[in-house]
Amino acid sequence: MGIIEKKKIEGILSGYKKLSIATVCSHSALQIFQGARQGKVHSIGICTKDRLEFYKSFPHARPDEFLVVDSLADVPVEELVARDAIVVPHGSFVEYVGEKLDGMAVPVFGNRRSLQFERDRMKMFSWMGKAGLRIPKTMKPEEINGLAIVKFPGAKGGMGYMIVKSEKEYWEKVGKKKALIQEFIVGVRAYPHYFHSIFSEAGYKTAYGHVELMGVDRRVESNAEEIARAVAAGGNVPLSFTVVGNASMVMRESLLPSFMDIGRNVCNSSKELFGGMHGPFCVETIVTEDLDIYAFEISARIVAGTNVLHHPYAEFTHGEMVSTGKRIAQELKEAFRKKKLNEIVY
């Protein structure tokens, strides 16, 4: 399916008399609903029956209204438009809805073209290259010489990734399956999350607004995080990278200017490639012992690491603790008031 014309979305927006925020009940939905509540914006949760009890159980973070669906992949587009809703895409949303998101006739916060770049690894590499990021080397099986990480298409949250050390091991373990082979970077993983705003005066200036650093997290992965215990106990288990949670971190302060530059460069290159990105995004990085920063992925929407609500950088920027969910509500409200929703919604 092709991407819906921007004009059509502008047409839908022109009929909006109020503002509401909708998302699928998963990933960072509680934070998005809490943020909408804090900003006094009506919120809508797209939810399956089996999840209702859970999402109703948080009085301060549940949505004001539920739209119950059979599958989270079925976004009830007409009901959302009838409620003047802007959809906030998150990681699970992007995963469940997939390419259907391109053609969805409902306004989406940000630029849906950015999610096409997130979905397609080759597009993602071209974007990271244009942003001047240092990227781990991609290899053919015959080029494997040392630690390499093997990533399978559609693998989510690191599930099923493998480590190989030689071409021989690659063919034995992976065979002819389609996979991306990448140099394994040894270092500390750090996931800075940003917010691009067309109104903000804080953060670093970009070609089309300002980019704020909201926080940094690290993913807590099973079993990578705890493998030392198994090894110390005499076990010989393969490393795995299934994300089970996130923890906030603060960076050595002298690294932060580089992270700000990375955020700005990603925004500026997105402007050149597909008209710019708006709202939350994240760059997944690994910092080596020489303090080189490698970037291996861009998430062009809110990431689950923002669920750790207390990040000092958001507080340094806004003078109080502002979650990414609250920041989304603020930006959308300001755009609605200034009749500029068209600029940050597609």
- Residues engaged in binding ligand AMP (CB under 6 A): 136, 149, 158, 161, 182-185, 189, 219, 221, 241, 284, 286, 296-297
Cβ distance to ligand AMP smaller for residue 76 or 187 = 187
**Tokens coding 75:** 């976004």
State in angstroms the smallest separation of the CB of 241 from ligand AMP: 4
Cβ distance to ligand AMP smaller for residue 194 or 208 = 194
State in angstroms the smallest separation of the CB of 334 from ligand AMP: 32
State in angstroms the smallest separation of the CB of 34 from ligand AMP: 25
**Tokens coding 76:** 């009830």
Rounded to whole angstroms, the Cα distance separating 33 from 13 reads 21
State in angstroms the smallest separation of the CB of 185 from ligand AMP: 4
State in angstroms the smallest separation of the CB of 207 from ligand AMP: 27
Cβ distance to ligand AMP smaller for residue 276 or 280 = 280
Beta-bridge partners for 242: 222
State in angstroms the smallest separation of the CB of 284 from ligand AMP: 5
Give the C-alpha distances (Å, rounded to integers) separating 211 from 43, 192, 214, 264, 309.
26, 12, 9, 6, 19
Give the C-alpha distances (Å, rounded to integers) separating 225 from 188, 219, 231, 256.
12, 9, 12, 24
Nearest Cα neighbor of 195 from 301, 121, 75 is: 301
Cβ distance to ligand AMP smaller for residue 76 or 158 = 158
User: Please, which residues have CB within 8 angstroms of residue 49's CB and are 6 or more apart in sequence?
Assistant: 68
**Tokens coding 13:** 């927006």
DSSP 209-259: EEEEEEEEEEEEEEETTTHHHHHHTT------EEEEEEEE----GGGHHHH
Q: Indicate the length of the chain as a whole number.
A: 346
Cβ distance to ligand AMP smaller for residue 33 or 191 = 191
Cβ distance to ligand AMP smaller for residue 84 or 217 = 217
Cβ distance to ligand AMP smaller for residue 16 or 184 = 184
State in angstroms the smallest separation of the CB of 191 from ligand AMP: 8
Cβ distance to ligand AMP smaller for residue 169 or 284 = 284
The helix-helix angle for 112-119 and 256-274 (nearest 10°) equals: 110
- Position of minimal CB gap to ligand AMP: 158
State in angstroms the smallest separation of the CB of 172 from ligand AMP: 21
| E-assigned strand segments in the chain | 20-24, 42-48, 65-69, 85-87, 138-139, 145-151, 162-166, 180-183, 188-197, 204-206, 209-223, 241-248, 279-287, 293-299
State in angstroms the smallest separation of the CB of 28 from ligand AMP: 16
Cβ distance to ligand AMP smaller for residue 161 or 313 = 161
Q: What are phi and psi of 125, to 5 degrees?
A: -65, -40
